[in-house]
Amino acid sequence: MQETIQVTLNAPLVLLTGAAGWLGGRIAAALTRGLPEVRLLATGGFRVRALVLPGEDVSQLREQSVEIVTGDVRDMETVRAFVAGAEGAVLIHMAGVIHPKAVAQFEAINTQGTINLLTAAQKVGVRRVIVMSSNSPIGCNPHPDHKFTEESPYNPYMGYGRSKMLMEKALRAEIAVGSPTEIVIVRAPWFYGPNQPSRQTLFFKMIKNGKFPIVGSGRNRRSMGYTDNLAQGILLAAAHKNAAGEIFWLADETPYTMNEIVETVGKVLHEDFGMTVKPNTVHLPSIVAVVATMVDVTLQYAGIYHQKIHVLSEMNKTIACDITKARKMLGYAPVIALREGMRLSVDSCLKNRQAI
């Protein structure tokens, strides 16, 4: 049985952006009470301050005695208020936009918003910044057996990938010139877990109804990250002395094929929750994703973002990463795999009265 992972941050304050989000909420829980279900405990007697957007549900954060600052990373006045008095603190930057209302929001939030935070953090003496990136700056694997490492070259996928690439390059430039604040970049792929947004619940519904589109053979592989696995990796990146100036891929132990992902969710719904799951009948040729990619490129060039077209464009692509570096340097050890992670996700949906 794996031992409990104790993470000591040695910081009087932890600043957390995106704390009301899907993954950010798990980071907040890990910091304030630990995640005993995955044997992850954060120790150090620190307090947590969260930056959240206006209108976001902060009830759980308040229950955890998290200090709340309301605002936007695009607003420097808000950012300065967020980092005020944070000398020696650790900043975990999770906030970002994946599915924006307009393409321009990608760089305004993901790139410039991160630069705003780092600039303010450096001025007040924040000790370390951990920044969440993505697989998108690196793009898609050249073939299904390939896995990205931290040395893989940039090949950004669409506007989101470009915004995260520009963000990473800005951070790496600061590292190169000797930033007074330590910087760690972590990259996470498609993640899943409790308290998911409606788009992930729709994914479950489509599989239940036999209508989730398998594009091409379905043998293309996707790295995925269960949220508590990712929380473990992020806290280890925040705590480990040698992580400063490094980049780490964080994900589950191994990538999964699209067929495996869909089949596993179907089994969980049927075997664990007694739901009737219809056989999947939607099989589309790879040309559908090729056409969707062309449409997506055209729309984004015009400043328009269409979520369903964008998601369809990725459905036949392999996006897989190698977590060896995080394992060796950080002691990262993801303990939840696909079936158990999906079971916990479905269970959370039902407890939160999200119909599947």
CA angle (250, 255, 259) in 5-degree steps: 145
Q: Which domains does the chain have, with CATH numbers?
A: 5-196+223-255+318-336 (3.40.50.720)
pLDDT cut 90: percent of the chain above it: 86
Task: Give the pLDDT score at 8.
Answer: 82
When pLDDT is averaged across residues 50-59 and rounded to a whole number, the result is 95
pLDDT of the residue at 4: 78
pLDDT at 2 over 70: no
What integer is the mean pLDDT of 18-46? 83
Residue 84 predicted with pLDDT over 70: yes
5-19 pLDDT, tens digit each: 788 887 789 999 999
pLDDT tens track for 139-152: 999 998 999 999 99
Given this model, what pLDDT does residue 45 score?
65
Convert the pLDDT of each residue in 154-169 to its tens digit: 999 999 999 999 999 9
User: Model confidence at 43, in pLDDT bands (50, 70, 90)?
Assistant: low
The yes-or-no verdict on residue 306 having pLDDT over 80 is yes
